[in-house]
Amino acid sequence: MEQATKFELTQEFHDRFQQALNERDAAFISAILEEVNPADITSLLYEFSSEESKFVLDILPLPTRAQIVNDLDTDTRKKILEIYSAAELTEVVNQLDSDDVADILNELPIQVSEEIIGNLDQDLKTQVIDLLRYDEHVAGGLMAKELIRVRANWTVVECIDEIRKQAENVAKFYTAYVVDEKDKLLGHVALQKLILSDSKTLVKDICEDDITPVETYMEEREVAEIMKKYDLESVPVVNVQGQLVGRITIDDVVDVISDQAEEERQLMSGITEDVEEDDTLLKNVRARLPWLLIGIFGGMLSARFMGFFEHELTKIAAIAFFVPLIQATGGNVGIQSSGLVVQSLANPGYLDEGIWKRLMKMFYVAILNALLLSVIVLAATYVFFDNHRLSFIVSFALFCVVMFSSFVGTLTPIFISRLGFNPALASGPFITTASDLLGLTIYFMTVHVLL
């Protein structure tokens, strides 16, 4: 029994492996990988080229090969599968569950995926064709067709026979779904209940109806929320007629939650494409450029705007000294406010009618922060810069900037979320650019009026 320590990929192992790859030493690779968990081989493959990865995969037994292909991240898999023939691919995907096959087929060119579908095992083929109808990001695209389906009028012994028949196809199951003669979902029987019941008991007598099916068109985000909220390890999927068509297991949802976190991180970092460090140079540049250009555009606007105050600036250069202070604080306040709102939007119980209460709270927090910061800045500028009027102006402008940025930072994510976009978009460079322009305008208006 192996201990669950993380598989450590040492430099030595890596080099030895690379050498074996260069020499195409199949015997050595096969021997060295025999004891390694497939999930660790998957991680290992990220270090090598697509051709090398295929060489390694072809050495491995078919079930392991299929599991690894399934575990690979989408980008890496795409690259590796490009060099596979349709026949080789068919052999691999025939090993997988229907939902995983559908995901992989969705990534392939149409003609390749058509050819593969044509050659799938009959049962799998029917299931996969059914799954391909659904968008990837709804319950129908997330579900697997493999499940244990029993009739309400069966006995426990008939159920166990059915489980015996299905055991080969269904890898993990904890519950049998109970349906009527029209396949309408009635409830479920937990495996432990089956074990503990007399073999002549009727399913309908031990069937529990405290089950929460989701419909095929429900958004994956919502499915994840429901499974998390009600602590479910699997959830049945029904069509509009209430017929049982599949089930979603918690491991699929763990992936949804992780992907969401990654998407948010990217939005908050101002990266516009799903990109990783190992992607091509061009893709990396392209993913970063849009927000940089918007930033540049904002910067040019700022420059034009400050141009109107050239006269004031030439007279008192010190006005310019505090532009970074004003802008940085505006940006920070904006990011913090939007960050908190994005977090609230992600949590349950965020009421529509709560907006006014929230705005009032935000308002008090902003006033307190604004007061504290402007007093500190007033004192500091008073000591370090010998211009009392400018001290007052900077401090007053800072107060206004904190107030306005709080306001914009709070409302923007709510607005973006209402428009149907991910509110995390508002926690990134978007809010920074907006706060920069806002801060500059407030500051120079104050300078213009008060100086």
Residues 310-329 that bind a copy of itself (CB under 8 A): 310, 313-314, 317-318, 320-329
Structure tokens at 20: 């074996």
Binder of a copy of itself out of 31, 254, 375, 445 (CB under 8 A): 254
Helix H, strand E, coil C: the string for the chain is CCCCCCCCCCHHHHHHHHHHHHCCCHHHHHHHHCCCCHHHHHHHHCCCCHHHHHHHHHHCCHHHHHHHHHHCCHHHHHHHHCCCCHHHHHHHHCCCCHHHHHHHHHHCCHHHHHHHHHCCCHHHHHHHHHHCCCCCCEHHHHCECCCCEEECCCEHHHHHHHHHHHCCCCCCCCEEEEECCCCEEEEEEEHHHHHHCCCCCEHHHHCECCCCCEECCCEHHHHHHHHHHCCCCEEEEECCCCEEEEEEEHHHHHHHHHHHHHHHHHHHHCCCCCCCCCCCHHHHHHHHHHHHHHHHHHHHHHHHHHHCCHHHHHHCCHHHHCHHHHHHHHHHHHHHHHHHHHHHHHCCCCCHHHHHHHHHHHHHHHHHHHHHHHHHHHHHHHHHCCCHHHHHHHHHHHHHHHHHHHHHHHHHHHHHHHCCCCHHHHHCHHHHHHHHHHHHHHHHHHHHHHC
Task: Decide whether 120 or 440 has the Cβ nearer to a copy of itself.
Answer: 440
Phi, psi (rounded to 5 degrees) for 434: -60, -45
Largest CA distance in the chain: 97
Task: Decide whether 116 or 244 has the Cβ nearer to a copy of itself.
Answer: 244
Binder of a copy of itself out of 296, 355, 375, 450 (CB under 8 A): 296
How many residues bind a copy of itself (CB under 8 A)? The answer is: 143
Binder of a copy of itself out of 16, 172, 389, 418 (CB under 8 A): 172
User: Can residue 365 be called a binding residue for a copy of itself (CB under 8 A)?
Assistant: yes
- Shortest Å distance, C-beta 422 to a copy of itself: 12
User: Can residue 262 be called a binding residue for a copy of itself (CB under 8 A)?
Assistant: yes
Binding mask 123-142 for a copy of itself (x = CB under 8 A): --------------------
Binder of a copy of itself out of 205, 222, 273, 386 (CB under 8 A): 222
User: Can residue 420 be called a binding residue for a copy of itself (CB under 8 A)?
Assistant: no
Amino acid identity at 16 = R
Report the C-alpha gap between 131 and 102 in whole angstroms.
6
For residue 353, which of 395, 414, 299 has the smallest C-alpha distance?
Answer: 414
Task: Decide whether 125 or 288 has the Cβ nearer to a copy of itself.
Answer: 288
User: Can residue 359 be called a binding residue for a copy of itself (CB under 8 A)?
Assistant: no
Task: Decide whether 122 or 347 has the Cβ nearer to a copy of itself.
Answer: 347
User: Can residue 446 be called a binding residue for a copy of itself (CB under 8 A)?
Assistant: no
Task: Decide whether 112 or 185 has the Cβ nearer to a copy of itself.
Answer: 185
Binder of a copy of itself out of 94, 260, 387, 441 (CB under 8 A): 260
Q: Please, which of residues 58-87 interact with a copy of itself by CB under 8 A?
A: none
Binder of a copy of itself out of 226, 382, 387, 441 (CB under 8 A): 226
Are the CB atoms for 237 and 246 separated by under 8 Å? yes
User: Can residue 167 be called a binding residue for a copy of itself (CB under 8 A)?
Assistant: yes
What count of residues does the chain have?
451
Binder of a copy of itself out of 24, 133, 229, 388 (CB under 8 A): 229
User: Can residue 264 be called a binding residue for a copy of itself (CB under 8 A)?
Assistant: yes
User: Can residue 271 be called a binding residue for a copy of itself (CB under 8 A)?
Assistant: yes
Amino acid identity at 376 = I
- Shortest Å distance, C-beta 81 to a copy of itself: 19
Task: Decide whether 115 or 312 has the Cβ nearer to a copy of itself.
Answer: 312
Report the C-alpha gap between 35 and 37 in whole angstroms.
7
- Shortest Å distance, C-beta 69 to a copy of itself: 15
Task: Decide whether 117 or 245 has the Cβ nearer to a copy of itself.
Answer: 245
Q: Please, which of residues 327-346 interact with a copy of itself by CB under 8 A?
A: 327-329, 331-333, 335-336, 338-344, 346
Task: Decide whether 61 or 118 has the Cβ nearer to a copy of itself.
Answer: 61
- Shortest Å distance, C-beta 129 to a copy of itself: 26
Binding mask 89-128 for a copy of itself (x = CB under 8 A): ----------------------------------------
Binding mask 370-409 for a copy of itself (x = CB under 8 A): --xx--xx--xx--xx------------------------
> Could you identify the residue written with the tokens 């489980």?
163
Binder of a copy of itself out of 348, 356, 419, 420 (CB under 8 A): 348
> Could you identify the residue written with the tokens 């992907």?
259
